[in-house]
Structure 1
Amino acid sequence: MKQAGIVGGLGPESTVDYYQSFIQKYQQRMNSKQTLPEIFINSINMYNIFQYISEDRLDDLADYVGGAAQQLETIGADFVIVAANTPHIVFDEVRKKVNVPMISIVEATLDQADELGLERLGLLGTKFTMEHDFFKQPFVSANKKIVVPSEDEQQLLHQKIVDELENGIVKEETKEIFLRITNQMIEEEQLDGLILGCTELPMILGVDDFEIALLNTTDIHVSKMIDATFSD
């Protein structure tokens, strides 16, 4: 059985979610509550991530995240994931820095969209995820349309994520803002799916909030981790 390595802390709330979800899915696969997986977590500083991207220091970002992945490989991780969407802006560069496989949250989400036959998807996340192409381009290349909120709405959602969700704060009025923006996108663009492209978003949005398919990137990513753990 293979051991997972998680680059976490991006932010702390979602790292906890990854850890708990991985244990739950592992026990389900083992069909036993009397067993626990052995995993490695390297928790780094999400605010460094934001600074590197804001200052367009993507080489430094790749070195920072890549160094964390290398440490996990050194202590015995058989594969590595980065437990956040935003740092995937340099995923291809980070992947080259280690010799063990890395599982992309973007690739995993695209696989899920394909399985569900989705063609027109909304994307929510930090402003870095919504304004850059690293998440959108693989979907566009697969002949899928990706829709994001307006620039002003992106900034608003970003601040709510950073100031509240990243700190474990969930407010009803914030949820109403997310729903208003998202439902407008769904209606205007006739979306058939919505990507929660930030690992904190499941704290505030769930399947019961929408009538279209909801792609929880954390859940999708963890499921891929489980498959890798039990692979030959």
Structure 2
Amino acid sequence: MSHPSPPAGHGPDQSPAPRQRVVGMLGGMSWESTAEYYRLANELVRERLGGLHSARLLLASVDFAEIERLQVAGEWDRAGQVLAAEAARLQAAGAELLVLCTNTMHRVADQVQAAVDVPLLHLADATAAAVHAAGLSTVGLLGTAFTMEQAFYRDRLAGRGLRVLVPDAADRAEVHRVIYDELCLGVVRPESREAYRQVIGRLVDAGAQGVVLGCTEIELLVGAEDSPVPVFPTTRLHVEAAVTAALEGVPVG
């Protein structure tokens, strides 16, 4: 004899558990650091959910040579158009939130966000939150010349209550050179690590309580052991924010 199903609203709740949101990664700038985004996202999801869990990701990887040419030419609007089109494709493919896997190209973050309906998690916001959580108010900023010298990134941090120091002109030139001529090509040299350590030391002497590693490649070269003050690795901080957003409400285990 068959038994009727319980009427709606009765019996155990059979609704499925919330699932991970799909994170769209807009990367390739350079692929060396985008690979770190992918690795970190999967490691963090596995740590939080356990077992064989991994991150639900979509990746759009652009040709960095095209973007770098537009950077040097100052054609930021055109670069923004390229990235906005890629962001729209990620959304169309099912991305539910986006991360732009580069500090420098947050110069066009507003243009990218305007092209999609899903949230773009701003890297500088995740960084500022971590600095505040550490109880600091003054940070040194390392990054490409564009990030250190233009207002878009420094102002975003300053707008969140932080005082931002940048290296002097000679140090900025060396930090930028190492990023483009070495780290973006997968070259990690001890001499460049030492040069970065000296730049960090001069920022600390100028009053920096912490140092923002404001280029996603810099984490390939230096870390906490290379600084007398806390460092803020923007790649990891950005991925942590994305994973937290993607797993909101998802049960552990």
Q: Is the 8 A contact 1:109 1:215 kept in 2?
A: yes
Partner of 2:31: 12
Kindly state the Cα deviation for residue 144 of structure 1 after the two structures are TM-superposed: 1.9
Partner of 1:153: 171
Partner of 1:173: 191
* Equivalent-residue separation in structure 2 for 1:143 and 1:64 (angstroms): 32
Q: How many residues align?
A: 230
Residue 91 (1) aligns with residue 114 (2): no
Residue 192 (1) aligns with residue 209 (2): yes
Which amino acid is the alignment partner of residue 194 of structure 1? V
Percent of residue pairs identical: 27
Residue 66 (1) aligns with residue 84 (2): yes
Q: Is the 8 A contact 2:201 2:228 kept in 1?
A: no
Q: Secondary structure at the match of 1:113?
A: helix
The higher radius of gyration belongs to 2
Which amino acid is the alignment partner of residue 184 of structure 1? R
Partner of 2:229: 212
* Equivalent-residue separation in structure 2 for 1:22 and 1:89 (angstroms): 24
* Equivalent-residue separation in structure 1 for 2:166 and 2:156 (angstroms): 15
Trace 1:10-159 onto structure 2 (pairs within 5 A): 10-32=29-51, 34-159=52-177
* Equivalent-residue separation in structure 1 for 2:46 and 2:65 (angstroms): 33
Q: Is the 8 A contact 2:127 2:238 kept in 1?
A: yes
Q: Is the 8 A contact 2:43 2:54 kept in 1?
A: no
Q: Secondary structure at the match of 1:14?
A: helix
Deviations 1:127-157 (A, max 9, x none): 1111111111022223321111112221221
Deviations 1:28-76 (A, max 9, x none): 11022x2222211100022222222222212101101111111100110
Q: Is the 8 A contact 1:49 1:87 kept in 2?
A: no
Which amino acid is the alignment partner of residue 222 of structure 2? L
* TM-score, scaled relative to structure 2: 0.88
Deviations 1:172-202 (A, max 9, x none): 0111111111111211x12111000011111
* Equivalent-residue separation in structure 1 for 2:180 and 2:50 (angstroms): 37
Q: Secondary structure at the match of 1:174?
A: helix
Which amino acid is the alignment partner of residue 208 of structure 1? E
Kindly state the Cα deviation for residue 159 of structure 1 after the two structures are TM-superposed: 1.2
* Equivalent-residue separation in structure 2 for 1:111 and 1:143 (angstroms): 10
Q: Secondary structure at the match of 2:56?
A: coil
* Equivalent-residue separation in structure 2 for 1:163 and 1:112 (angstroms): 29
Q: Is the 8 A contact 2:126 2:237 kept in 1?
A: yes
Which blocks of at least 5 consecutive residues in structure 2 are unaligned? 1-19
Which amino acid is the alignment partner of residue 19 of structure 1? Y
RMSD over equivalenced CA pairs, Å: 1.2
* Equivalent-residue separation in structure 2 for 1:224 and 1:95 (angstroms): 17
